[in-house]
Chain A
C-alpha cells in the first residue's frame, strides 16, 4: 500500500497557492486541528499539505457557554465562540511546537475591528516560520454595529487591503457561505490583494431539544459542518472559480478522497479537511492516498492538471 509519507512515486501531488508551495493539496482546517500538537501523537504532521491553526485574536477569548456542539443529520453544529489563547500565548506556547511540525503552518486570524486584523498581521509578520495567514472574516465588525465583515464586498475589500499593507506573508481569505453572492465577496478579496481564497466556512444553523423546547446550543445558533454541507461548498467553489484568478482552497464536508477530488475538479487548487478529523484522525492522510490513486488510475501526470477540469456541456450548467 502506498503511504502518504512517500509522495514522490507516481503522479506529483505538489500544488502552488501563489508563492506558497505545498507537497500535497490536503490541509487541516482551522478550528478542527487545534494547534497541531493534539494530533501529533496519532499522525505524522509532515505528511499533510499544511495545517491551519485555531482562529487567533489579539486577546485571549473564553468562548461561548456550553453546550457548544450538537450533532445533526450527516453533520454537526458548533458554537465554540472563537475561544483561543490570544496572540501572546500563541507565540510563546503554541508556536514553538508548530514551528517544528515540518509542514507549512498557516495562522488563522480574526479581529473585532479592521485595525485589529492589521495589528495581528503586523505582529505575526515578525514571527519566523509562519507560512501564511488565513483571514476569518465571518465575525462581527464592532465598529460597524456588529455587521459581519464577510457580508459586504466593500468591507471585505477594505479589511483585506489593510492587512495586505501590514504584511507580505501569503494571505488567504476565508469566505462565509452566509452571503447572498459569494462571487462578489471573492472578487472583493482578490481586489484587496488576497493571494488565495478558502471556502466555505460553516453555514449558520440551529437545532432544538424537543423534550425541553430549548436550543441544543448554548449560543442558540452555530455553524454547520460535515458531509451535509458538501453540495453547498462544491457549488460555491465552482461559482467562485468562474470569477476570480487567484487559487481557491475548497472545503465543506470533505471526508473521503472522492469528496476532495470533486472539489479539485470544481476548481479548487487545494482542499481543507475539517470535521472529518474528529471522526478519523487519519482522514487527511487517507484522502492524500486516495487522490494519488485516482490520479494514477486516470493517468493524470499531476494533481494540478485535475484542478478545474470539470466538463460541462454547452447547453447546461446555467444557474437554475
Chain B
C-alpha cells in the first residue's frame, strides 16, 4: 500500500491531562488530517534542539479530516494523539504549549482494515493503548452501519469495546466511546472500576457468552496483553489485528530500527513443508483452496513443535497494525 507522507507544521490547539500520567494533544494540521487513517501514526519532533534527538511515534486517537464543504468548522483538519509519560521525551512533551507549532511527519504505516465478512468487532485496549481504537471504532461503526442489510439490528452490538488498566486512573477513553454511543466494558486489576481482573479475562468471558462466529478482534496495549489476545484469537479461531508499539528512528522504513519478529510468509500457510513430492501437492492446495478452507484444513495449522521460520518486519512500514498470527510472540 502506497501512502502519501507529509512533513508539516502543526499547531497545538489543546493540550490536556487525561489521566494520572497521560495527556492528549489536539493538533491543527489539515494536510495530514486529510490522509490520516485509524491505526496510522505520526512522528513528532519534541524539540528543535538536538536533545532529545529522535522524533517520537504516536498513533491517532481522533481524526477530523477537513470538510468537503467550503466553510471550515472548528474541528476541520484536526488530529489528536494521546501519550503517557514514560521517559525523558514524553516528560518534555508535557511542556508543549497551546498555540505552539511543532513538526510532525505522517500519516505513517498501515492502519486497521475491516476483517472480511465479520459483522461484529471487539476492540480491546490496555491503558493508553485504547487511544488508537477510538477512531477505529468510529469508522467501523459507520462502515458496518452502511453495509448492514437489516435496519432492525441493534447498532450497539456491532462494536464492543473493552478497556483495561491497573486501576481507575489508568482507564482512558470512556467518555470518547460514550460520545460515539458506545458503552465500553471496563476491567481493572485492582477492582477500583468495572470488573476486577484483566481485560483479556473480560474478552474471554464475552466470547464464551456471545456466539463468536462473526467476530473480529482489534487490540492495542502492552505486549503481554497483546500476546494473550493473540492466544485467545487462535483459540476461538478469530481474525485479530494488533497495533504494536516499537522504538523508532525514522518512521518511514529507512533505518530498520523498529524490527518485529514475524513468521516468514510461506510458513503462515505451511509451517514445515515436507521435503518430498508431497510438497507440490500442498503448495497446490494452499494456492487454490487455502483462503477458502483456512484453518479448517489440517495442513494449515501451524506446527508448534518446531520454531517457525522468521524474519524481522518493520513496524513502521509493514505495521504498526499486524495480524496477530503473523507475530512471533516471545
**Cα separation A278 to B247 with both chains bound (whole Å):** 13
Say whether A74 contacts B261, CB under 8 Å: no
Interface residues of A toward B: which range?
A: 35 or more
Known contacts A70-B247, A275-B249, A282-B7; A38/B254 CB under 8 A: yes
Given A62-B312, A278-B249, A227-B50 contact (CB < 8 Å) = yes
Contact indicator B247/A69 (Cβ below 8 Å): yes
Q: Which residues of B contact A74 (CB under 8 A)?
A: 50-51, 53
**Chain A nearest CB: distance from B124 CB in Å?**
24
Whether A278 contacts B54 by the Cβ 8 Å rule is: yes
Main secondary structure of the interface of A (DSSP, over half): loop
A69 touching B254 in the complex, CB below 8 Å, given contacts A74-B51, A74-B53, A275-B249: no
CB of B93 closer than 8 Å to a CB of A: no
A284 to chain B, nearest CB (A): 13
Given known contacts A62-B312, A80-B255, A282-B7, A67 and B247 CB-to-CB distance under 8 angstroms: yes
Cα(A83)–Cα(B253), bound, Å: 12
Q: Shortest distance in angstroms between B318's beta carbon and chain A's nearest beta carbon?
A: 13
B193 in contact (CB, < 8 A): no
Residue in B246, B248, B253, B257 whose Cβ sees the most chain A Cβ within 10 Å: B257
Q: Is B228 an interface residue (CB 8 A)?
A: no
B311 partner, pick from A62, A277, A282, beta carbons under 8 A: A62
Q: How far is the CA of A76 from the CA of B312 in the complex (A)?
A: 21
Bound Cα distance from A83 to B311, whole angstroms: 10
| B53 lies within 8 A of A275 (CB) | yes
State how many angstroms separate the Cβ of A37 from the closest Cβ of chain B.
9
A76 touches B53 (CB 8 A): yes
Which chain A positions have C-beta within 8 A of B145?
none
Q: How far is the CA of A68 from the CA of B103 in the complex (A)?
A: 25
Which A residues touch B50, using CB under 8 A?
74, 226-227, 255
Q: Are A83 and B256 in contact (CB under 8 A)?
A: yes
Residues of A within 8 A of B255 (CB): 31-32, 34, 69, 78, 80, 278
User: Which DSSP category, helix, strand, loop or mixed, fits chain B's interface?
Assistant: loop
B246 — which chain A residues lie within 8 A by C-beta?
66-67
User: B105 on the interface (CB 8 Å rule)?
Assistant: yes
Cα A226 to Cα B252 in complex, Å, equals 18
Q: Give Cα A226–Cα B50 distance, bound, in whole angstroms.
A: 8
Q: Say if the beta carbon of B250 comes within 8 Å of chain A.
A: yes
A65 to B52, CA, bound (A): 24
For A86, what are the chain B residues with a Cβ–Cβ distance below 8 Å?
Answer: none
Contacts of B254 in A (CB 8 A): 32-34, 38-39, 277-278
- Bound complex: CA of A42 vs CA of B250, how far in Å? 13
Distance A99 CA – B250 CA, assembled complex (angstroms): 23
Max count, chain B CB within 10 A of own CB: residue among A64, A68, A277: A68
A298 proximal to B (CB < 8 A): no
Is B259 part of the binding interface, using a Cβ–Cβ cutoff of 8 Å? yes
Q: How far is the CA of A227 from the CA of B52 in the complex (A)?
A: 11
Residues of A within 8 A of B247 (CB): 66-71
Q: Name the contact of B45 in the complex, choosing from A80, A277, A279 (C-beta under 8 A).
A: A279
> What is the interface residue range for chain B against chain A?
20 to 34
Given contacts A66-B312, A71-B52, A278-B55, A76 and B249 within 8 Å (CB-CB): yes
User: A71 CA to B89 CA in the complex, in Å?
Assistant: 10
Residues in chain A near residue B89, CB distance under 8 A: 71
Nearest-Cβ distance from residue A282 to partner chain B, whole angstroms: 7
Verify if B182 is at the interface (C-beta below 8 Å from A): no
Q: How far is it, in angstroms, between the C-alpha of A39 and the C-alpha of B252 when the chains are bound?
A: 8
Whether A227 contacts B312 by the Cβ 8 Å rule is no
Cβ-closest chain B residue relative to A70 = B247
- Say yes or no: A73 contacts B51, CB within 8 Å: yes
Enumerate B222-253 residues with CB–CB distance to A below 8 Å.
246-250, 252-253
Q: How long is the Cα–Cα vector from A277 to B54 in the complex, in angstroms?
A: 10
The answer to whether A281 and B7 touch (CB under 8 A), given A66-B312, A69-B247, A70-B247, is yes
Chain B 102-123 per-residue mask, 1 if CB under 8 angstroms from chain A, else 0:
0101000000000000000000
Q: How far is the CA of A65 from the CA of B257 in the complex (A)?
A: 10
Closest to A28 in B: B254
Considering the chains assembled together, what is the distance between the CA atoms of A33 and B254 in angstroms? 5
B219 interface residue per 8 A CB criterion: no
Contact, CB under 8 Å: B253 / A34? yes
In the assembly, what is the distance between CA of A73 and CA of B47, in Å?
Answer: 13
Q: Are B53 and A68 in contact (CB under 8 A)?
A: no
Residue contact B312 to A41, C-beta cutoff 8 Å: no
* A259 → chain B closest CB, angstroms: 10
Give the contacting residue for B5; candidates A31, A42, A80, A282; CB below 8 A. A42
Q: Are B256 and A71 in contact (CB under 8 A)?
A: no
Q: Is A63 an interface residue (CB 8 A)?
A: yes
Q: Roughly how many angstroms separate A54 CA and B4 CA in the complex, as a whole number? A: 23
Task: Give the interface of A toward B (CB within 8 A).
Answer: 31-34, 38-39, 41-42, 54, 62-76, 78, 80, 83, 226-227, 255, 275, 277-282
Q: List 23 A-B contacts (CB under 8 A).
A: A31-B255, A32-B250, A34-B252, A34-B254, A38-B252, A39-B252, A41-B5, A42-B252, A64-B259, A66-B258, A68-B257, A71-B247, A74-B50, A74-B53, A75-B53, A78-B249, A80-B256, A80-B259, A83-B259, A226-B50, A227-B50, A280-B103, A282-B7
Known: A54-B256, A63-B256, A74-B51. 5 other contacts (CB 8 A): A34-B253, A38-B250, A65-B261, A71-B54, A71-B247
- Chain B positions within 8 Å of A, measured between CB atoms, are 4-5, 7, 45, 50-55, 89, 103, 105, 246-250, 252-261, 310-312
Closest 8 CB pairs of A and B: A34-B254, A69-B257, A38-B254, A227-B50, A278-B249, A278-B250, A74-B51, A66-B259
